[in-house]
């Protein structure tokens, strides 16, 4: 079929890449280049790049930039990561913000590498500047990945709708942003030359391609700083949270002074039979029989984005429904605002109807003191961790769930970032 043939429209640009950008030329070998009439310029889906009639009308130097843009989409696995993010967030996922984040990162890399794109063009440095986070292009390229930038755009867009700032969507539209990325479908994932490649494989391909570019001294491989969006095998924070909670809920074996251990019984029987003195007492190790308790504290001071809160509460709902656990929910800011017990049969409805007060500061000392009095297996605190913490009460295990990409380091407890 004609659709399966290599693109004739992209051939001149791909051939020119061997001279102008060895890194992109190497990565292009792992992509499937096809001509298509369903898009005007170009589109990426999985490992396939479709080139439209508008691409053929561009001058060669712009064709090189656009082809490089889509080659990086494939190499950075933006289609597959888009599908994974959509699965995690469900109805809260905003496809245009995801594509905006990916395009901004890729465009910045292409322009920093000395290539040309049709103007106007959405850049990472310009997008960050609209959110008050300015920085030199190569510096921001090394600091941001698509997932972290997506969550930042969601928060910024929410503030813009509330009237606290301009919309990042408006900025992107003004810079000529047009969606050019589709999530990887099942048929695409099984077709072509990249079958079976995962994040680790692409990490290796990118490392070799970048080394070739550095050796040549031109193109993307010669950038002064590494790309922060390089694909890496990452474990979602939801999985880490489940493991931390499961480990906290496991029964802790302790001596039971009222019952002898099997070892002591055997030694005592031998001693009695031989007429010797009884061995020193050895209590049996046993697990507690009471139902474990988990306390979740929600910081309602206004620092938690609604989408992050909904995702976190969905995870807590799953934990309650899967495990026999007594769950207490504490809502707090500078003081404790409310406290309630959540039952597995009603937890979804209770959380759906939960109204959180907004505004105010944060003080962790009252909630830590209250949680210690409940003697839970663990306390999970959802907060940006900005407030006085005091000293950890004795015997209280604390898990901090923070929406920041680089959470502060508290004096106690384990920290889990919800930014990815």
Name the pLDDT band for 63 (thresholds 50, 70, 90). Answer: very high
Give the pLDDT of residue 164: 45
Q: Given a cut of 50, is residue 417 above it in pLDDT?
A: yes
Share of the chain above pLDDT 70, in %: 84
If you average pLDDT over residues 149-162, what whole number do you get? 75
Give the pLDDT of residue 165: 47
Give the pLDDT of residue 253: 65
Name the pLDDT band for 26 (thresholds 50, 70, 90). Answer: very high
Over residues 98-143, the pLDDT tens digits come to: 999 999 999 999 999 999 999 999 999 999 998 888 878 778 888 8
Q: Given a cut of 60, is residue 95 above it in pLDDT?
A: yes
Give the pLDDT of residue 291: 57
- Measuring CA to CA, how many Å separate 92 from each of 104, 169, 311, 383? 21, 16, 9, 20
Residues 6+ apart with CB under 8 A from 371: 295, 297, 330, 379, 393, 396
- Inter-residue contact 418 to 403 (CB < 8 Å): yes
- Measuring CA to CA, how many Å separate 193 from each of 12, 29, 47? 21, 9, 8
Q: Given a cut of 70, is residue 198 above it in pLDDT?
A: no
Compute the radius of gyration of the chain from its Cα atoms. 28
Domains and CATH numbers, the chain: 2-230 (no CATH), 293-417 (3.40.50.410)
If you average pLDDT over residues 89-95, what whole number do you get? 85
Distance of alpha carbon 184 from alpha carbon 49, whole angstroms: 12
Over residues 348-392, the pLDDT tens digits come to: 777 777 777 666 678 899 999 999 988 888 888 888 888 888 887
If you average pLDDT over residues 7-30, what whole number do you get? 93
Give the pLDDT of residue 2: 44
Give the pLDDT of residue 287: 61
Give the pLDDT of residue 377: 83
Distance of alpha carbon 241 from alpha carbon 344, whole angstroms: 18
Tokens representing 371?
């949680």
Q: Given a cut of 50, is residue 32 above it in pLDDT?
A: yes
Average pLDDT, rounded, for the chain: 82
Distance of alpha carbon 377 from alpha carbon 130, whole angstroms: 44
The reported pTM is 0.68
Tokens representing 227?
């790309």
Give the pLDDT of residue 232: 61
Three-state secondary structure string covering the chain:
CHHHCCCCCCHHHHHHHHHHCHHHHHHHCCCEEEECCCCCCEEEECCEEEECHHHHCCCHHHHHHHHHHHHHHHHCCHHHHHHHHHHHHHHHCCHHHHHHHHHHHHHHHHHHCCCCCCCCCCCHHHHHHHCCCCCCHHHHHHHCCHHHHHHHHHHHHHHHHCCCCCCHHHHHHHCCCCCCEECCCHHHHHCCCCCCCCHHHHHHHHHHHHHHHHHHCCCHHHCCCCCCCCCCCCCCHHHHHHHHHHHHHCCCCEEEEEEECHHHHHHHHHHHHHCCCCCCCCEEEECCCCCCEEEEEEECCCCCCHHHHHHHHHHHHHHHHHCCCEEEEEEECCCEEEEEEECCCCHHHHHHCCCCCCCCCCCCHHHHHHHHHHCCCEEEEECCCCCCCCCCCCCCCEEEEECCCCCCCCCCCEEEECCC
Over residues 228-283, the pLDDT tens digits come to: 887 665 666 667 777 777 777 666 666 777 788 888 888 888 888 888 888 888 88
If one counts every other C-beta atom within 10 angstroms of the C-beta of residue 285, the result is: 11
Name the pLDDT band for 70 (thresholds 50, 70, 90). Answer: very high
- Inter-residue contact 105 to 140 (CB < 8 Å): no
Give the pLDDT of residue 228: 81
Give the pLDDT of residue 21: 93
Give the pLDDT of residue 318: 74
């Amino acid at each position: 079929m004609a659709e399966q043939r290599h693109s004739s429209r992209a051939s001149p640009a791909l051939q020119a890449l061997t001279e102008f950008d060895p890194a992109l030329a190497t990565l292009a070998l792992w992509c499937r280049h096809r001509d298509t009439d369903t898009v005007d310029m170009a589109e990426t889906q999985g490992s396939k790049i479709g080139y439209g009639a508008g691409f053929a009308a561009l001058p060669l130097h712009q064709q090189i930039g656009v082809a490089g843009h889509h080659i990086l989409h494939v190499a950075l696995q933006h289609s597959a990561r888009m599908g994974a993010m959509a699965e995690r967030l469900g109805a809260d996922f905003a496809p245009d913000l995801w594509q905006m984040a990916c395009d901004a990162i890729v465009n910045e890399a292409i322009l920093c590498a000395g290539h040309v794109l049709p103007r106007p063009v959405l850049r990472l440095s310009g997008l960050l500047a609209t959110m008050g986070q300015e920085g030199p292009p190569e510096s921001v390229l090394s600091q941001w990945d698509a997932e972290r930038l997506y969550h930042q755009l969601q928060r910024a867009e929410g503030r813009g709708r509330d009237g606290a700032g301009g919309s990042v969507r408006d900025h992107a539209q003004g810079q000529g942003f047009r969606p050019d990325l589709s999530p990887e479908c099942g048929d695409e994932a099984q077709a072509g030359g990249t079958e079976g490649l995962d994040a680790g494989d692409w990490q290796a391909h990118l490392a070799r391609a970048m080394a070739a570019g550095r050796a040549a001294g031109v193109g993307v491989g010669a950038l002064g700083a590494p790309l922060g969006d390089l694909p890496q095998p990452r474990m979602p924070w939801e999985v880490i949270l489940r493991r931390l909670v499961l480990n906290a809920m496991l029964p802790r074996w302790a001596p039971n002074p009222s019952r002898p251990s099997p070892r002591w019984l055997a030694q005592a029987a031998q001693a009695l039979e031989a007429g010797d003195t009884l061995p020193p007492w050895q209590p049996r190790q046993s697990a507690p029989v009471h139902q474990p308790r988990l306390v979740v504290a929600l910081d309602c001071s206004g620092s938690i984005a609604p989408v992050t809160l909904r995702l976190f509460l969905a995870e807590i709902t799953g934990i309650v429904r899967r495990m026999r656990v007594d769950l207490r929910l504490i809502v707090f800011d500078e003081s404790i605002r409310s406290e309630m017990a959540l039952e597995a049969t009603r937890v979804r409805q209770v959380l759906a109807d939960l109204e959180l007060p907004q505004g105010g500061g944060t003080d962790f000392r009252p909630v830590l003191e209250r949680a210690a009095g409940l003697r839970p297996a663990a306390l999970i605190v959802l907060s940006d961790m900005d407030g006085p913490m005091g000293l950890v009460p004795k015997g209280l295990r604390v898990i901090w769930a923070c929406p920041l990409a680089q959470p502060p380091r508290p004096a106690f407890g384990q920290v889990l970032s919800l930014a990815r």
